[in-house]
Amino acid sequence: MTEKPTSGKNTSGRGQRDLRVRVKTAKGRKLSSTLWLERQLNDPYVQRAKREGYRGRAAFKIMELDDRYGFLKPGARVVDLGCAPGGWCQVAAARVNALGQNPKKPVGTILGVDLQEVEPIAGCDIHQLDFLDEDADDKVKGWLGGRADVVMSDMAAAASGHKGTDHLRIVALIEAALAFAFDVLEEGGTFVAKVLAGGAENEMQALLKRSFRKVANVKPPSSRADSSEKFVVAMGFRGRAEDPRDEDPHPEAED
């Protein structure tokens, strides 16, 4: 159960009410679950997502990344890997004009794929699919009717509780998503994916910089301060026809 906000002086000493919602640990509930619930109840992005109809606070991460780098353009074809619960798809659908609400701008396409079934999202084509399947890239290109302008992923590997193991798992997941993007992206396209603090591993970072004209590693404001996540935004895919190492040995990069 939750406790009502208690009155009393806050740390600023101004006598203002403490409006933080506190959660008692119920019988049978782990302390970690209680702390997670308390954090959710007090998270302004969780509250804002509910008010604005988004399926999760992660929606604001892709908003902030797109506000900065502008890759979700009207008419764009976007693939969202591991799209559940669908917040990124919701944001992308509005920004690429997937519903055609602005008749003066081209209509985009949002294709979401996930291992689990996802509730329908207006303006989005959602498929239950393992993107690691051998024919997944061909299926996606078939559904899109061509290649994608953006491949994005907010996926995270299941946590084991061991920092080193979790790091290796998420790097492996990013590598798989990047390999998929190489097969699916249109030349000039963008790859956006969750990574750990410090960006991708050195070898992968080098590959990204060879394969894209601009690579940034950024922590959006809506990402929790205590989270180790960052996002890589790689723009200007060089394509598959030529070896990316033959072009521009000094690609634009941003840390």
H/E element, 231? strand 229-237
Catalytic residue, chosen from 61, 194, 209, 230, is 194
Does 36 carry a binding-site annotation?
Answer: no
Within 10 A of 209 (CB to CB), how many other CB atoms are there?
A: 19
**Most distant CA atoms of the chain, gap in Å:** 67
CA 145 to chain centre: 24
Taking the C-alpha atoms of residue 70 and residue 63, their distance in angstroms, rounded to an integer, is 10
194 as an active site residue: the answer is yes
User: Which two three-digit tokens encode residue 85?
Assistant: 């619960």
Does 88 carry a binding-site annotation?
Answer: yes
Q: Which residues pair with 120 in a beta bridge?
A: none
Does 246 carry a binding-site annotation?
Answer: no
Does 114 carry a binding-site annotation?
Answer: yes
Does 70 carry a binding-site annotation?
Answer: no
Torsion (CA) 50, 55, 60, 66 in degrees, nearest 10: -140
- Residues in contact with 32: Cβ distance below 8 Å, sequence separation at least 6, in sequence order: none
Q: Which residue, among 116, 134, 231, 144, has the nearest Cα to 180 in the 3D structure?
A: 134
CA angle 225, 229, 234 (to 5 degrees): 125
Which active-site residues does the annotation give?
194
**Residue ranges at the known binding site for S-adenosyl-L-methionine:** 86, 88, 114, 130, 154
